[in-house]
Amino acid sequence: MPKENGPHSYHEVRVTKGLKSKEEAEALAAFIGDKVHDFQGETQQGFAITEEHFRIPKAVFTSPIKAHSFAREIETRFGIPSENIVIKAKTNTSGTDSIPKLIDELKRDDGIQSRKARLALVKLGSIAVPALIEATKSPDTTVQWESLKALAQIGNRQAIDTLIDHLSDDDGRGWVAADGLARLGKKAIVPVLESLVHRSGSSVFRNGVHHFLSELSAEGQDKNSLEPVKAALEGSEASLEAPIAAWNAISKLKSK
């Protein structure tokens, strides 16, 4: 079993060849986009061009164990030989060392510089997530908001869970978190609904979920599954009806 490396290491998973058609390549790209957020500490980072000239996202993990697990899942699902799936360990010491400075620059009065710092943190991906989570607790409102926006742009599962936690904030952070989750779209829906099942007793949290659903650009079956949840949140018995509606929606979405 691969060993966990230090906090400055990450592991890149990419497919080098073995795809038989454009349709298979598109299916693999969608699979990577849908699945990597199920792991803690992961992200997508750039693309790899296979020998067949297909453009496939690279998955980046802070954990080698999760990287190898993901590679096996690709091998099993798509029948791609293991030798065509490369797992490469990399080190990003300079990027990690720059994180505290970038976090500090989020508080700049100059909105352009603050945005540049946020985008630099987003580019670092999952290695910046722990510091961004801590920064959401900053007494500086700008740092809070920019950190939440960065987490939404990174969009791994750890970031999604943090954004969901902030739906319970009755200040501006709750709205920023809801907007960020809505921009993440489909991959945030089930985690938000699962949290609603357990946190429906909080009116602030329910309001945050309602805002998320209102801003979400859901279509087709997703929209049909979510409308009853939104209606339940607007009802007089929301604390009782919303978790039931959320559970029903989860069942429908997972059965697709």
Count of domains forming the chain: 2
Provide the pLDDT for residue 37: 54
Write out pLDDT tens, residues 133-170: 999 999 999 999 999 999 999 888 889 999 999 999 98
pLDDT in tens, 185-227: 888 999 999 999 999 999 999 999 999 999 987 665 577 889 9
User: Which domain, by its residues, includes 126?
Assistant: 95-254
Q: What angle do CA 225, 231, 237 make, to 5 degrees?
A: 125
Q: What percent of the chain has pLDDT over 90?
A: 47
**C-alpha to C-alpha distance for 230 and 220, rounded to whole angstroms:** 16
- Are 157 and 225 members of one domain? yes
Buried b (16+ CB within 10 A) or exposed e, 179-202: bbbbebeebbbebbbebbeebbee
**Pairing relation of β-strands 85-91 and 42-49?**
unpaired
- DSSP helix, strand, coil percent of the chain (3-state; round to 5): 65, 10, 20
Cα–Cα distance for residue pair 206/133, rounded to 1 Å? 22
The two structure tokens encoding residue 131: 């510091």
* Tens of pLDDT, residues 84-130: 999 988 765 445 668 899 999 998 777 788 889 999 998 888 888 99
Q: Do residues 134 and 236 both lie within one domain? A: yes
What's the mean per-residue pLDDT of the chain? 85
Question: Which has more pLDDT, 229 or 94?
Answer: 229
Name the pLDDT band for 11 (thresholds 50, 70, 90).
Answer: confident
* In a domain? residue 1: no
Q: Residues 210, 226: contact at Cβ < 8 Å? A: no
Assigned domain for 126 exists: yes
